[in-house]
Amino acid sequence: MRANDSFHIAVLPGDGIGPEVMAPALAVLEKVAASRPELKFRFTEAPAGAGHYRDTGSSMPEATIKLCKEADAILLGACGLPHIRYPDNTEIMPQVELRFMFELYAGVRPCRLIPNVPSPIVGAAERGIDLIVIRESTEGLFASMGKGVVTATPVRFRVSPGAPPQGARRPRPSHLRRQGERVQGLRFLPRHIR
């Protein structure tokens, strides 16, 4: 919720290259705001990531989660460090934890041609492009979060409900009907989102 006429953005720089790329990302947003008098941003930085887990035992503090709930948007840098893992050997991924906390189950990505920018797609300029790509963001790899099995190697195995079929070498995928139905419901997006 906006407390005033500015967009409040929770900034989570993250780990590794995250803080390095966050600085120019914020500079771009500040330039955009400077060019549009009606647009104002208010940034609040907070800790999250593998480094925070290493130091505190938590991928992000409650204060970060509270900030993310109150902000209009979350700007998230790269999170995770290969040598810092949960005890079950799964990666520290606050970005995925936030997806589950806030039910951010799908990435909705409108695809359009940008005027005066050439497209690598043959015939696109004549026919146009009006497409929305929907990517489910809590299933597959993400559904196994916190369910890894500690092994002698840094490989993570997914633990799925039920026993695998006789003779199967890999566990069954852990996809849920609920997630599939939610994503299918997005096929009727309002025209203004496209």
User: Domain map of the chain by residue range?
Assistant: 1-103
Contact in structure between 109 and 131 (CB atoms under 8 Å): no
Closest CA to 170 of 151, 157, 153: 157
Q: Which pTM does this prediction carry?
A: 0.69
Q: What is the pLDDT of residues 88-118, one digit of tens each?
A: 888 888 888 888 888 787 777 788 887 788 8
Give percent of the chain with pLDDT exceeding 70: 71
Closest CA to 100 of 64, 139, 135, 74: 139
Give me the pLDDT at residue 102, please.
Answer: 85
